[in-house]
Amino acid sequence: MKLSAHYNKASIIITISVLFAGAVIYFFAINYIAKHQLDQNLIEEIDGVKDYIKHNQQLPKQVDFDEDLVVFSKTNDTAIQRRFFDTIYKNPKEKKREAGRAVSCLVKVKTNNYKTVLIVSREDTEYLVQIIGLITLVLSVGLLLTLFITNRYILNGLWKPFYKTLIELKSFNISDNKSLNLKTTKVDEFNDLNTTVQGMSKKVKDDFQNLKQFTENASHEMQTPLAVITSKLDTLIQDEKLNDEQYIQINDIYSATNRLSRLNQSLLLLVKIENNLIDDIELLDLEVFIKEKINQFNELLADKQINLKAALISREIYASKYLIDILLNNLFSNAIRHNENSGQIIISLTGNKLTFQNTGSSTPLDQNKIFDRFIKSKRSEGTGLGLALVKNICNKYGWQITYCYNASVHTFEIVLQH
């Protein structure tokens, strides 16, 4: 959920809660005020009755009260506390029953005491309360609509610079010379954000360029002495004066040097892949590539008497020819190197899957570490970077590679992107 949606949700919930609580309080307050006003009117009416009796020494007639209802009941009580209460008001004109408010008290006419109950209609007051409630409801709905429209359009407009910055960050490429295009806004916080992002992107690019330059220079400088060492070792190995022990030692040095050279090239290649420095994409037919690789590895297959079966169909992909060559080299080398004599390799290429299966060790590989760098078996003479390279190449093109084991058969499956 977006930040604006979270804000809208929180603000609307809070507003509705406040409005609901306010409406309840407002309703009871209006009712209290209305009743209090009716009670004041009733007091004035009762005081008027008492004044009438005082001056005329008789009870007033019903016609003297207009639409108010008054009931006089003779009583022997000498004192009755004045009391206000809700009751039913019988409208004499419309002949219907309405909600009413009444007051009871004691009045004295000469020597007689009368319990007096004066009733007035509450219909006008309730109508007024309803009108006020309706107006309050309309205002509340109007406030909610205004709040919703404000949040949806005005606040979304305020967040536009943030989303533009987010789009720029998503398109940011560390190896691209293009800088971030972040414009100045009217909001100080977004300007601070853009300034910080600009500074961070510049520092990241500078660090990347320095690392790239260091890696390339280091690789280049390492290749030269390695080539010299290899050349000298080639010369020494051909020397007929070497005894067996010297020959074995020089051959070990030669193997270690070759491994170091391969390791250097693999690490440099990993850096290039991870930083998208290889972008020579073209349309390739994967079936043709695999058939070429089968021909290239025929001698190694024959040496271990490995039976290879291939079920291939034409499958075109957009990729770097160089990287696909490395991917297939590593898959073939892995399947042959870790296979057993007179073993089997099955290669399958369907519409969107490339599968390599090979017989080999009866112990499954660790699925959580198999594609990590420098993970290899104790008997392996490789650099431990082959499957890491395969994984990185698959990641580059959005392919998914998985490993599984079943009955001494190791399977690597690559799901190609459509």
Number of domains present in the structure of the chain:
3
What is residue 278's predicted lDDT score, i.e. its pLDDT? 72
What is residue 214's predicted lDDT score, i.e. its pLDDT? 74
Q: What is the pLDDT of residues 81-110, one digit of tens each?
A: 888 888 888 877 667 788 888 888 888 888
What is residue 3's predicted lDDT score, i.e. its pLDDT? 66
291 with 271, same domain: the answer is: no
Q: CATH code at 312?
A: 3.30.565.10
227 with 298, same domain: the answer is: no
| Residue 227 forms part of a structural domain | yes
- Could you tell me the pTM of the whole model? 0.50
What is residue 308's predicted lDDT score, i.e. its pLDDT? 93
252 with 291, same domain: the answer is: no
Q: 329 with 296: CB under 8 angstroms?
A: no
Q: 383 with 268: CB under 8 angstroms?
A: no
For the chain, what is the total number of helices (H) and then of strands (E)?
Answer: 10, 11
Residue 402, beta-bridge partner list: 413
What is residue 385's predicted lDDT score, i.e. its pLDDT? 76
Cα within 13 Å of Cα(196), Cβ side: 6
Q: 310 with 347: CB under 8 angstroms?
A: yes
25 with 139, same domain: the answer is: yes
What is residue 67's predicted lDDT score, i.e. its pLDDT? 66
Q: 10 with 1: CB under 8 angstroms?
A: no
- Residues lower than pLDDT 70 in the chain: 1-4, 62-67, 93-94, 175, 219-220, 274-277, 374-384, 418
d(CA 16, CA 140): 9
Domain boundary among 132, 154, 176: 154
Which domain does 9 fall in, by range?
3-154
Domain boundary among 237, 261, 277: 277
Q: What is the pLDDT of residues 252-283, one digit of tens each?
A: 887 788 777 777 777 777 777 766 667 788 89
Mean pLDDT of the chain: 82
Domain boundary among 241, 262, 277: 277
